[in-house]
Structures are given as structure tokens and as C-alpha cells.
Amino acid sequence: MSRGNGTSVRSVNYATSPLLASKTPPWRSRFVVVLVGLAFAVLLGRAVHLQIWASDFYRAQGEKRFVHKLKLPASRGRIFDRNGLVLATSVALPSVQVDAKTFAADTAQRRAMARALGMSPADLGQRLDGATGVVTLRRLVEEPVWREIQALGLKGVQEVREYKRRYPEGESAAHVVGFTNIDDRGQEGIELAFQGQLEGRSGARTVVRDRLGRVIEDVGDQADPVNGRDITLSVDSKVQFFAYQRVRDAVQQNRAKAGSVVVLDVQTGEVLALANYPSYDPAERNNLTGGQMRNRALTDVFEPGSTMKPLVVAWALDTGRVKADTVIHTAPGSLVVGPLVVKDAHPYAALTVQEVIQKSSNVGAARIAMQMPARELWELFSNIGYGQKPQIAFPGAVTGRLKPYKNWRPVEQATMAYGYGLSASLLQMARAYTVLARDGDVIPVTLLRQDQPAVGLRVLKPETTREIRRMLQMAAGPGGTGPKAQTIGYSVGGKSGTAHKQEGKGYASNKYRAWFVGMAPIGTPRIIVAVMVDEPSAGRHFGGDVAAPVFSEVVQQTLRMMNVAPDIDVKAQISAKPLAAELESF
């Protein structure tokens, strides 16, 4: 074969090629067909395995990567005061999360993100570097923080809404309301006591997310959350705030260690205020101390001092052993009972029973108590709540100490008459005085709002308690140990108390607790107020000097808030000359 340019190419005869002319063995073609068939069979088997036998597994794997079950948190129930003002509520706040697989940020963005979250760049890197799943960087951040992080426009950053507790009344109601932890479970106070009612039941939502973590579709039915139940307390937030301010001022002015106030409604047994100082802010609990968190009015027990004298005298009157004008010999201002010498701060030759209360005579109270069987006094003390755990829905309420009467020695019977040898909380002391304020009935106390009058236990005769209230009015008036308890517009009655603090097996010579427990208006009492100041050290330590002024201010403000009409002439009281306080005996 030749081309136009004169060159020639040798022709090839393919038919005569040895490779093509040779015959292919039959087994080779069959082998190829078998291989192709096996390949199709494997593919078909794999398809059957994926689509039928292993479909559940691979569907689950796919859902694990793109289908997520989101928790829908329930809102915790709110806590209200008796007038419907909020003491605790929950608000939804973002918790910042990062999907480590899709997260991307340069050094400047990481630094900005760490600064917004209150973390160091090193801490942020430690949390994210090497992580493979979703990492929660910070829970319950404020809205401005989340908006600042959103503005960075980072991939893989997402939010989950959770609830955080808010406490509008802050430190004034902290010991009543308590607080929750970051998981919204009650840890102290009402938050703990009513955890079962306040907590709700979480719901769930199933969604499909894309590779950037964005929700693109809901899957299946949504289970809605069930919010917790609201709780309405007996506390009046205005009375609570005022009581807290007054006891705080008293502690600071007297350079004391601590103080407490309890305000009770005489008709219902409701706690209108329960304030302690030192306190804390339930929403900001960094660097808290045990002293700040202690609800001293419920958890601290101490010897109640002279506040016991009206109760002992009441029983003596009720059983006919004495009358108000019965003369008790108290000379020479001391009484030897076994190894103890009972002394009065100011010696008197003789005092009537009513003067024993007015002048707060230890000797007179001891002589009256020694006339009665130990069993009768023990039953009286037990019936009004001493040595009994308060039936109040609150954690930490203590029982106090009251020895069985069979173990009483004469010296113990004598000292109990003026408040040594037994112990009680301030709440127990306030409750005990309901027997005097309610014409002989002692009632249970409660922190929940009540719409009906309380049902009490009859302990004393009505005429006995009216006589004791008249003596308490004398004790809080001219010539008594607590004239600083007087209040403009309202008649008051009460008993001051001062006791040495126990240290080991003895008593500290220069450490005291001071009290004043009383009621107003004295004719038909509406409230009971109990005040305790622990270790006053500014030169005064008697209850009539330290605790009585707090009582006066709290009584006046509380009765006004309750719209109780004044029962004495205001003008006459304003024009009266100041009364000089006498020092009380222990």
C-alpha cells in the first residue's frame, strides 16, 4: 500500500495473527462470567442486607448523627408571699454549646468568645481541643452575653434554653425562700421543703439537624413539659423586709454576732416574717459562709432566759397557788438551792407576783416554781411546744431540749423558772407565747398562707392569760425591764430576757444573748414578735436595751401594714417624757 508522498506502509493481516488465530479455552470465558455473576450476587446480597436485615442499625446510626431528642425543661413553680408578690420565679436563659466537629474560629474569635463567657483562652482551648461531640461551655448565661457570642457568627455554636431562678427580695427573704442549684433542684428553705410540688416534669422534642447543628425539621410527636405548682407563703414581704432591716441595724449598732426576728399572726399561726442577719443573696452565692446561711430563728437553740417567767407564773395562777397580789419574799435578793445561789440583779425585800414579772426577779420566779410538782411544769412546757419539734414544713427546724421531769433535781426546777436548764429556738419561744395571746390556746405555726383561724389546744384558763397580759404590759412599761418596747399608738406587753452563753460545760462571763418576746395590742393581741440578738458587745447586753427597740419598731410597722386600728391615744404618748430603763435580772 502506498501514499501520495511516496512512502509505503507494510500491511498487517490480522486474520493470520497468532494471538487471534489461537482458540480460547472454554473454561476462561466461563470463569469470567462466573466472576461477573458473583460480583452481582455480592452487590445484591449487600443491598438486601442494608435494606432489610441491617436497616434498623443503619437507620439508628443516621438518626444518631442528624436526629436529636431535645429536652424541653419544665418551669419550676413560683413562690409568692401572702399578697401575691413574687419571692421566687424562673426565667429561661441560654446555655452555650459547641459542636466540636463543625466548630471553626480563628485566634481572635476564640479570644472574643472566651472573654464573653468569662473564660481564659486557655480554658476554652482545653474544653474544645480534642473534643468530638457537643460541649457545653457555659450554662445559664445572660441574654447580652449570648447576643455577643451570636454576633461572632461562628459555625457550630448553639444555645439550649434552661431555667434559672430569680429572687426579687434578695437577702431579706433568703432564709425563708432558700435557693436551688444549677439543675433547678431545691437546696435550702422553701425551695427544698416543697421540692416535690415546685418541680415540674420535662418534655421532649425530636428534631433533625443539619451538619451545622441547625434544626431543620421536627420528627414525631412532641411531649410538652408540665410546669411545677406555685406555692403561696404566709410571709408578708413588706413585713419581712422591714423586720430584716431592723434586726440588721440592731446587730450592727450593738456590734453583735447575729440576730433574728419572728412575727406571728395570733389568729392563724401564720409566720408573717422570719428574718435573720447575717444573710445572703440567693442569686449570688459565691464565697458563702455557714454563718450567712444559717436560719438561726429555726436552727439555733439556746436557753430562753427570763421569757420563761410569765409562763411559770401563769401556771401558778391557773392552779390557784398564787394570785396577782400574793407577796413573794425575795430578801436578801438571793436564794440557795442545792449547790446554786439564785440571785437578782437588784435585790428586793418582797415582791408581789405581778412585780416578780415586772421587775424580772429570778428569786421570785424560783420560789413560785418550787411550789409546784415537777411533772406539772414539764407538762406545761411540753404542751406549749418546748422539747417538741415544731410541726412546720421547713428543713432544719430543731427540737430543743427539755429533760424528763423524773430527772429534774430541785436546782433544775428552780433555774428553769427563769430560763436556764432547757433550750428552744426563737420560733418555739414565739409559738409558746400564743398561749398567752389567745386566752389559753396554743396553736401550731405555719409558713403557708391560711384562710381559716387556727384550731388550738387549751392549756390555760382565759382569765389567767388576761391577767398575765396585764403583767406583761407592766413589764414593758414604766418601772419594768422593757420600756423601750413601747410603741406609738398601740399598747404592748412582753418580756425581756438575757442569758449568759454556754461555753463547754459552763457559761461565758462576758457573752450574752438578749431577747424580747411580746404581743400587741395587749387587750386583743393581733401579732406576736420575738427578737434575739446574739453577743452584743457595744456596751449594752440586756434584752430591754438591745432587743426591745427592735420589737417596738417591728410591732408598729406591722400593725399599720395590717390596718389594725390604734388602741391608745397617740397624742398623749407623743407628749410623754422618755422613760428610763431599769436593768433587768437574768
For 381-419, what is each residue's pLDDT tens digit? 999 999 999 989 888 899 999 999 999 999 999 999 999
Phi-psi region of 111 (alpha: psi -120 to 50; beta: other; left: phi over 0): alpha
pLDDT confidence of residue 204: 75
* Residue 353 near residue 313, CB atoms below 8 Å: yes
Confidence of residue 577 (pLDDT cuts 50, 70, 90): very low
Lowest model confidence (mean pLDDT) among 449-463, 537-551, 557-571: 557-571
Where does 191-233 show beta strands of DSSP type E?
A: 203-209, 215-218, 231-232
In the 8-state DSSP scheme, what is residue 333?
Answer: S
Mean pLDDT across the stretch 160-166?
A: 89
Name the residue type at position 11.
Answer: S
pLDDT confidence of residue 285: 84
* Residue 434 near residue 269, CB atoms below 8 Å: yes
Fold topology of 237-575: Beta-lactamase (3.40.710)
Using alpha carbons only, give the angle 301, 304, 309 rounded to the nearest 5 degrees.
155
Integer CA distances (angstroms), 272 to 35, 107, 216, 340, in order: 91, 56, 52, 41
Lowest model confidence (mean pLDDT) among 78-87, 149-158, 297-306, 444-453: 149-158
In the 8-state DSSP scheme, what is residue 436?
Answer: H
pLDDT confidence of residue 129: 82
Nearest to 477 by CA among 490, 462, 464: 490
Mean pLDDT across the stretch 477-491?
A: 94
* Residue 356 near residue 368, CB atoms below 8 Å: yes
Q: How far is it, in rounded angstroms, from Cα 254 to Cα 275?
A: 17
Q: All 3 cell numbers of residue 109?
A: 474569635
pLDDT confidence of residue 64: 57
Q: How far is it, in rounded angstroms, from Cα 302 to Cα 322?
A: 29
Of 172, 306, 360, 496, which is the active-site residue? 306
CA 111, 112, 113, 117 torsion-angle sign: positive
Lowest model confidence (mean pLDDT) among 8-12, 99-103, 237-241, 480-484: 8-12
* Residue 435 near residue 384, CB atoms below 8 Å: yes
Lowest model confidence (mean pLDDT) among 139-153, 310-324, 475-489: 139-153
Is the pLDDT score of 2 beyond 50?
A: no
Confidence of residue 284 (pLDDT cuts 50, 70, 90): confident
* Residue 529 near residue 490, CB atoms below 8 Å: no
Confidence of residue 553 (pLDDT cuts 50, 70, 90): very high
Give me the chain's average pLDDT, please: 87
Q: How far is it, in rounded angstroms, from Cα 438 to Cα 8?
A: 138
pLDDT confidence of residue 213: 55
> Could you tell me the CATH superfamily of domain 69-102+130-232?
Penicillin-binding protein 2a (Domain 2) (3.90.1310.10)
- 3-class secondary-structure state, position 174: helix
CA 324, 325, 327, 332 torsion-angle sign: positive
Is the pLDDT score of 211 beyond 70?
A: no
Q: How far is it, in rounded angstroms, from Cα 525 to Cα 518?
A: 10
Q: How far is it, in rounded angstroms, from Cα 262 to Cα 260?
A: 7
Q: How far is it, in rounded angstroms, from Cα 106 to Cα 149?
A: 14
pLDDT confidence of residue 391: 87
Nearest to 117 by CA among 135, 91, 90, 92: 135
CA 45, 46, 47, 52 torsion-angle sign: positive
pLDDT cut 90: percent of the chain above it: 61
pLDDT confidence of residue 581: 36
Tell me how crowded residue 488 is: count the other CB atoms within 10 A of its CB: 12
Q: How far is it, in rounded angstroms, from Cα 328 to Cα 325?
A: 9
Confidence of residue 583 (pLDDT cuts 50, 70, 90): very low
* Residue 458 near residue 267, CB atoms below 8 Å: no
pLDDT in tens, 370-383: 999 999 999 999 99
Lowest model confidence (mean pLDDT) among 111-115, 155-159, 216-220: 216-220
Is the pLDDT score of 275 beyond 70?
A: yes
In the 8-state DSSP scheme, what is residue 53?
Answer: I
Is the pLDDT score of 47 beyond 50?
A: yes
Is the pLDDT score of 217 beyond 70?
A: no
Separation of first and last alpha carbons in the chain: 143
Residue 232, beta-bridge partner list: 80
pLDDT confidence of residue 578: 42
Is the pLDDT score of 71 beyond 80?
A: no
pTM: 0.82
Confidence of residue 197 (pLDDT cuts 50, 70, 90): very high
In the 8-state DSSP scheme, what is residue 212?
Answer: T
- 3-class secondary-structure state, position 514: strand
Residue 281, beta-bridge partner list: 284
Radius of gyration of the chain, Cα coordinates, nearest whole angstrom? 40
pLDDT confidence of residue 586: 44
Mean pLDDT across the stretch 336-362?
A: 93
Residues 6+ apart with CB under 8 A from 433: 307, 517, 518, 519, 528, 530
Confidence of residue 559 (pLDDT cuts 50, 70, 90): very high
Confidence of residue 58 (pLDDT cuts 50, 70, 90): low
Active site residue 306: yes
Q: How far is it, in rounded angstroms, from Cα 233 to Cα 177?
A: 9
**Sequence spans of domains, the chain:** 69-102+130-232, 237-575
* Residue 430 near residue 494, CB atoms below 8 Å: no
Q: How far is it, in rounded angstroms, from Cα 499 to Cα 512?
A: 5
Is the pLDDT score of 14 beyond 60?
A: no
Q: How far is it, in rounded angstroms, from Cα 543 to Cα 534?
A: 10
Which residue, chain included where needed, has cell 417567767? 309
**Most confident listed range (32-36, 258-262, 279-283, 332-336):** 258-262
Better-predicted residue by pLDDT, 352 or 2: 352
- 3-class secondary-structure state, position 213: coil
pLDDT confidence of residue 67: 65
Mean pLDDT across the stretch 412-433?
A: 95
- 3-class secondary-structure state, position 259: strand
Q: All 3 cell numbers of residue 227?
A: 410546669
* Residue 225 near residue 75, CB atoms below 8 Å: yes
Is the pLDDT score of 122 beyond 70?
A: yes
Better-predicted residue by pLDDT, 494 or 6: 494
Nearest to 392 by CA among 422, 425, 423, 421: 425
Mean pLDDT across the stretch 495-503?
A: 88
pLDDT confidence of residue 102: 81
Cα-to-chain-centroid distance, residue 464: 38
Q: Which stretches of 403-501 are DSSP H helices?
A: 410-416, 426-432, 434-437, 462-475
Using alpha carbons only, give the angle 452, 453, 455 rounded to the nearest 5 degrees.
115
Mean pLDDT across the stretch 434-460?
A: 94
